[in-house]
Amino acid sequence: MVQKSGKQRYFIIEGNIGAGKSTFLKMLKQYLNIQAVVEPHEQWQNIGDGHNILEKFYMDPKRWAYTFQSYAFVSRVMNQQAHARINPYAIQVLERSVFSDRYCFAENAYELGYMNALEWKLYKEWFSWLVDTYMSQPEGFIYLKTKPEICYERLRKRSRHEEATVSLEYISKLHDKHEKWLIAKEGVAPALKDVPVLVLDCDSEFENNRAEQERHVQDVGAFLMQHIPGDIHRSPISPIST
């Protein structure tokens, strides 16, 4: 966890399931001088003794939503801490965060009946205390805004077996949550309301599109340098090898 007294400064890539966050972060790492912190989904898929908490959540969300969201929080914090120990002065860029867990996934789970009222109350109380007590706010959010239908199509194409039960309706609800949180900033903690948000249109495929890559890297590079002094570019953008 990045503590308030620490020197670690970080940005967060946010977006729906299938928005392209992993690919986007990999691209940024290639061209920008950042410390990339990937989402610990491999840890969720194997937490020991053959347990796959991500699969359990999707197979039986009413039983496992609170357990999964609690572990997602802890594993994200552990993951970020581990990277911070390697280089506490690096500019971190995280793939998702505890904030999207709270304002999108956990809230959505409660509204869908996957968490009961007591679980939701407990989650909000310990989340608020931990974040307010120990975490510094991010320098900015990078929102990969993508239409739900496109996210759903990408999700089907990558074919993770844990996500086999994910519906377009579920993706659409998460899209609305991201919009409410990052664009309208409704119901957001006061400390987060002033955090700047860079909104990128990611409907177009960018993994093998040099023009789209160049546009995104330039936008993100300018956004980071607006809040972090110095040149953060690692290398110029070059044509994609074939």
How far is the C-alpha of 106 from the C-alpha of 121, rounded, in Å? 11
Cα distances (Å, whole numbers) of residue 74 to 30, 97, 131, 223: 28, 11, 12, 28
9-227 in CATH: which number? 3.40.50.300
Kindly report the average pLDDT of the chain as a whole number: 91
Residue 242 has pLDDT above 50, yes or no: no
Return the minimum-mean-pLDDT range out of 58-67, 134-143, 229-238: 229-238
Q: Which residues are catalytic?
A: 95
Query: What are the structure tokens assigned to 31, written together?
Result: 């061209």
Pick the closest to residue 135 from 126, 148, 143 (CA basis): 126
Return the minimum-mean-pLDDT range out of 55-59, 203-207, 229-233: 229-233
How far is the C-alpha of 140 from the C-alpha of 12, rounded, in Å? 7
Is residue 93 within a helix (H) or strand (E), and if so which, with residue range?
strand 91-95
Residue 141 has pLDDT above 60, yes or no: yes
Tens of pLDDT, residue by residue over 24-82, are: 999 999 999 999 999 999 999 999 898 999 999 999 999 999 999 999 999 999 999 99
First to last CA, the chain: 40
Amino acid at site 131: V
Question: Would you call 188 exposed, middle or buried from its count of C-beta atoms within 10 A (0-12, 13-18, 19+)?
Answer: middle
Tens of pLDDT, residue by residue over 103-119, are: 999 999 999 999 999 99
